[in-house]
């Protein structure tokens, strides 16, 4: 990715206040996203993995300004001339720029309004961005249906008439409607069965090559992320702990948390003998994180330094960044090849 | 399925079966007609065996499990077949023919056969403390006094790896994380030392590192208590890692059954093969995943034919869509229901 990235996030923070009592005094901060920097190139897929509560979805929502970030910049390249900082633009500007970045949601059952027809649902972003109206809108929606593999004659049906996989296709069509550059896919296949999941993953791949889309692909299923991503970022308690091209990350991880995640993924082959690393305890509380490295209470390699000093995210080998004091010394085990 | 029981007996010479399901059928009477959720399912689980039941949503795997506990929700009804359960103190009981609210099943359910579910929050009462809920189960089946029940509950929480069990006994489900709640459910299930544990997607709602903890716990408990486990999931990876025997379900029927090695290395049914090919694997480097075209039909008023024929690329027109193939033992302990491999039919009842 030598060209300027489509998305460049720097120092992104999102803190939620913890309030207490009648006067709603702020007694603390939940650091849902804490100083995250990442880039996504044109036509690139960045996978974002991490456990529930690690802040993956909050990052996605901040990028689209569904949430106002606490700090940081989100440089979004609209076209060759124009790059805007999504973190600081006004609501009015935002309305005009929304069409360039869209979201696909996890649950195809709850993310579509049951009282709207497919034409309404897929056409809404076009109407809001004043890109099409009337017959033109209907034509455009019909061609979108075709793009995602649904029949255009079902335009006036309601979501309940479609299966889970078809509904997710409707969600994809809606996200594509305004010709965006960037799509944030938040767990787009985790509610689907294996065979349907494969259909949607293939569709997302095809659309990317056809329209040069950039994806931020948020998921907790590492096999799915490995399949679709070019690069992968791993989050733990609001921070990125590792970012690398996918083969580097999956086969030569540099952070002990990545290693533990990889070892926990069940392999669909009974003959692969694998040592599962069972992490002790639970994911840290982002309102009261441990000292030093957030991962140290669960890390089998932790030493005194990890308890005291917070590691920075640094480039260990070209293109591979990890935040571990001992990233160079540790010989971590990747996924079975 | 007349050729089944005989071949099953051969396989079972190795160990005693705990439960034998024979030609089980569960129908839901809907306005549109009878929905055949489970349609002629047969398998047996041996002592200390980890038996995997795999399939996609709506294939009938959960209803099969519910039938074993006699917990099929209305308007579902067991319409055919037997569920022969070998009791702990000897003797055989057909669970398909007992009163679902009667004394016999209540003595077995939660005691000799226990179950853990996908979403532990909905199986726990939000207004009773964890300790009370655990003790209730123990008092019902094993303990004679509250003091004894408390002791057992405490031991069980400790066994499933919950720190500070005495303090956690006083707390309520909302104080627990998803993984911890599932541990409580496992503690509850194990507290009566069941012979058969039914685990219905117990890790689907959990993160992968927590899933690893729970799988480890179930495997440990199985060794420690010599339980048989019926593990229901849609995740092929989990099946490959923990199960001995696997049955693949599609549209209410078992389409393939065998050892975990046979299913993963020598899959014979087109559905099994495609399910394996559609699963992304780390390091596979495939540009595209193989997909299964179309969707699962709704099992109401379907013809007596192979359920997969509408989506099967290898379908033989005039054969697969007109008759139902029988589940045939092609190799030792490897059963397949497909005309590509054997032309024997299963007659309509």
pLDDT tens sequence across B128-166: 999 999 999 899 888 889 999 999 999 999 888 888 899
What is the per-residue pLDDT across B40-98, written as a single tens digit (0 to 9) for each? 999 999 999 999 999 988 899 999 999 999 999 989 999 999 999 999 888 899 999 99
Chain B residue numbers with beta carbons less than 8 Å from the beta carbon of A205 are 287-288
Q: B8 falls in which pLDDT band (50, 70, 90)? A: very low
pLDDT score at B6? 44
Q: Is pLDDT above 50 for B10?
A: no
pLDDT score at B14? 57
What is the per-residue pLDDT across A5-15, written as a single tens digit (0 to 9) for each? 999 999 999 99
Chain A residue numbers with beta carbons less than 8 Å from the beta carbon of B238 are 266
Tell me how close the Cα of A137 comes to any Cα of chain B, in angstroms: 29
Q: Do A266 and B237 touch (CB under 8 A)?
A: yes
d(CA B6, CA A172): 51
Q: Do A202 and B57 touch (CB under 8 A)?
A: no
| Nearest-CB residue to B291 (from A198, A270, A272) | A198
Question: Nearest CA to A302 among A337, A260, A240, A244?
Answer: A260
Q: Does B234 touch chain A (CB under 8 A)?
A: yes
Q: Which of A269, A286, A336 to mutate to test the interface with B (most CBs of B within 10 A)?
A: A269
Q: Do A227 and B287 touch (CB under 8 A)?
A: no
d(CA B178, CA B121): 8
Pairing of strands B328-331, B334-336: antiparallel
Q: What percent of chain A has pLDDT over 70?
A: 99
d(CA A9, CA A39): 6
Q: Does B126 touch chain A (CB under 8 A)?
A: no
* CB-count burial class (<10 Å; 0-12, 13-18, 19+) for A155: middle
pLDDT score at B178? 84
Tell me how close the Cα of A87 comes to any Cα of chain B, in angstroms: 30
B contact residues 2-61, partner A, Cβ 8 Å cutoff: 56-57
Chain A residue numbers with beta carbons less than 8 Å from the beta carbon of B289 are 198, 201-202, 227
Q: Does B286 touch chain A (CB under 8 A)?
A: yes
Chain A residue numbers with beta carbons less than 8 Å from the beta carbon of B287 are 205
d(CA A34, CA A240): 9
Over range A97-122, report the average pLDDT: 90
Question: How many Cβ pairs within 8 Å bridge chains A and B?
Answer: 128
Q: Do A271 and B179 touch (CB under 8 A)?
A: no
Tell me how close the Cα of B279 comes to any Cα of chain A, in angstroms: 6
Chain B residue numbers with beta carbons less than 8 Å from the beta carbon of A250 are 282-283
- Is this prediction's ipTM beyond 0.90? no
Tokens of A53: 């509560």
What is the per-residue pLDDT across A176-208, written as a single tens digit (0 to 9) for each? 999 999 999 999 998 888 888 898 999 999 999
Whole-angstrom Cα Rg for chain B: 21
Tokens of B202: 């117990």
Tell me how close the Cα of B333 comes to any Cα of chain A, in angstroms: 17
Q: Is pLDDT above 80 for A298?
A: yes
pLDDT score at A291? 93
What is the per-residue pLDDT across B71-80, written as a single tens digit (0 to 9) for each? 999 899 999 9
Q: Does B94 touch chain A (CB under 8 A)?
A: no
Tokens of A72: 């940081």
Mean pLDDT of chain B: 90
A30-39, A102-111, B163-172: lowest mean pLDDT where?
Answer: A102-111
- B211: nearest CA in chain A? A264
Mean pLDDT of chain A: 91
Q: Do B241 and A261 touch (CB under 8 A)?
A: no
* CB-count burial class (<10 Å; 0-12, 13-18, 19+) for B131: buried
- Alpha-carbon distance values, A268 to A273, A287, B264 (Å): 11, 37, 8
Q: Does B288 touch chain A (CB under 8 A)?
A: yes
Chain A residue numbers with beta carbons less than 8 Å from the beta carbon of B288 are 202, 205
d(CA B68, CA B83): 7
Q: Do A270 and B177 touch (CB under 8 A)?
A: no
Question: Nearest CA to A102 among A207, A236, A231, A243?
Answer: A207
Tokens of B118: 């996908």
d(CA A173, CA A195): 20
Over range A295-304, report the average pLDDT: 95
pLDDT score at A286? 86
Contacts of B337 (CB under 8 A, 6+ apart): B253, B254, B255, B256, B269, B306, B324, B325, B326, B327, B328, B346
A147-156, A241-250, B166-175: lowest mean pLDDT where?
Answer: A147-156
Q: A3 falls in which pLDDT band (50, 70, 90)? A: low
Q: Does B274 touch chain A (CB under 8 A)?
A: yes
What is the per-residue pLDDT across A172-184, written as a single tens digit (0 to 9) for each? 999 999 999 999 9
d(CA B307, CA B338): 10
| Nearest-CB residue to A223 (from B56, B276, B280) | B280
Contacts of B348 (CB under 8 A, 6+ apart): B304, B324
- B209: nearest CA in chain A? A264
- B274: nearest CA in chain A? A195
Tokens of A136: 């033109």
To which residue do tokens 């490295």 refer? A293
What is the per-residue pLDDT across A41-73, written as a single tens digit (0 to 9) for each? 999 999 999 988 889 999 999 999 999 999 999
Q: Do A226 and B288 touch (CB under 8 A)?
A: no
* CB-count burial class (<10 Å; 0-12, 13-18, 19+) for A136: exposed
- Element (H or E) spanning A215, and its range? strand A214-218
Q: Does B147 touch chain A (CB under 8 A)?
A: no
């Amino acid at each position: 990715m030598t060209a300027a990235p489509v998305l460049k996030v720097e120092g992104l923070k999102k803190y939620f206040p913890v309030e207490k009592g009648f006067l709603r005094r702020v007694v603390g901060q939940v650091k849902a996203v804490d100083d995250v920097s990442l880039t996504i190139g044109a036509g690139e897929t960045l996978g974002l993995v991490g456990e529930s509560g690690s802040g993956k979805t909050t990052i996605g929502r901040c990028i689209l300004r569904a949430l106002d970030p606490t700090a940081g910049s989100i440089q979004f390249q609209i076209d060759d001339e124009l790059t805007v900082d999504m973190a600081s633009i006004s609501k009015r500007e935002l309305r005009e720029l929304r069409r360039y970045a869209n979201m696909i949601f996890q649950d195809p059952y709850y993310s579509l309004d049951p009282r709207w027809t497919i034409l309404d649902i897929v056409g809404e972003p076009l109407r809001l961005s004043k890109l099409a109206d009337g017959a033109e809108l209907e034509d455009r929606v019909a061609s979108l249906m075709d793009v995602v593999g649904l029949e255009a004659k079902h335009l006036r049906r309601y979501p309940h008439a479609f299966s889970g996989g078809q509904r997710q296709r409707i969600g994809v069509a809606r996200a594509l409607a305004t010709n965006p550059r960037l799509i944030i896919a938040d767990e787009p296949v985790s509610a689907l069965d294996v065979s349907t999941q494969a259909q949607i993953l293939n569709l997302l791949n095809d659309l990317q090559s056809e329209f040069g889309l950039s994806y931020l692909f948020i998921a907790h299923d590492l096999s799915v992320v490995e399949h679709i991503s070019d690069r992968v970022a791993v989050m733990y308690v609001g921070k990125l702990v590792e970012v690398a091209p996918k083969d580097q990350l999956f086969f030569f991880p540099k952070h002990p948390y990545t290693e533990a995640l990889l070892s926990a993924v069940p392999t669909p082959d009974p003959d692969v003998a694998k040592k599962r690393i069972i992490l002790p305890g639970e994911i840290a509380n982002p309102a009261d994180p441990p000292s030093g490295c957030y991962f140290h209470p669960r890390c089998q390699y932790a030493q005194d330094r990890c308890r005291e000093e917070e590691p920075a995210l640094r480039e260990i080998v070209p293109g591979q960044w990890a935040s571990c004091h001992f990233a160079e010394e540790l010989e971590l085990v990747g996924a079975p090849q | 399925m007349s050729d089944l029981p005989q071949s099953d007996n051969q396989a079972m010479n190795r160990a005693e079966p705990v439960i034998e399901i024979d030609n089980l059928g569960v129908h839901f009477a809907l306005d549109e007609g009878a929905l055949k959720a489970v349609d002629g399912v047969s398998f047996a689980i041996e002592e200390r065996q980890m038996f995997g039941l795999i399939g996609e949503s709506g294939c009938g795997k959960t209803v099969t499990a519910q039938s074993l506990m006699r917990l099929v929700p209305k308007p579902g009804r067991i319409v055919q077949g037997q569920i022969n359960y070998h009791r702990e103190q000897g003797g055989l009981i057909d669970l398909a023919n007992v009163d679902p609210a009667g004394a016999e099943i209540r003595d077995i359910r939660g005691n000799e056969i226990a179950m853990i579910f996908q979403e532990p929050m909905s199986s726990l009462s939000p207004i009773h403390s964890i300790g009370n809920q655990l003790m209730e189960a123990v008092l019902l089946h094993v303990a004679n006094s509250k003091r004894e029940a408390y002791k057992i509950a405490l031991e069980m929480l400790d066994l499933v790896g919950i720190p500070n069990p005495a303090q956690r006994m006083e707390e309520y489900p909302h104080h627990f994380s998803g993984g911890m709640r599932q541990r409580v459910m496992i503690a509850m299930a194990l507290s009566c030392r069941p012979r058969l544990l039914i685990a219905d997607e117990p890790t689907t709602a959990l993160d992968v590192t927590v899933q690893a903890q729970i799988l480890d716990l179930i495997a440990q408990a199985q060794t420690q208590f010599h339980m048989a486990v019926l593990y229901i999931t849609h995740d092929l990876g989990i099946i490959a890692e923990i199960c001995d025997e696997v049955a693949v379900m599609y549209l209410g029927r078992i389409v393939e059954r065998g050892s975990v090695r046979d299913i993963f290395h020598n899959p014979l049914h087109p559905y099994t093969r495609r399910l394996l090919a559609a699963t992304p694997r780390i390091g596979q480097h495939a540009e595209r995943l193989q997909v299964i075209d179309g969707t699962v039909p709704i099992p109401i008023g379907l013809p007596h034919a192979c359920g997969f024929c509408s989506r099967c690329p290898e379908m033989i027109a005039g054969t697969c869509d007109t008759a139902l193939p029988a589940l045939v033992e092609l190799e030792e302990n490897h059963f397949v229901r497909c005309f590509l491999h054997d032309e024997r039919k299963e007659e309509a009842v």
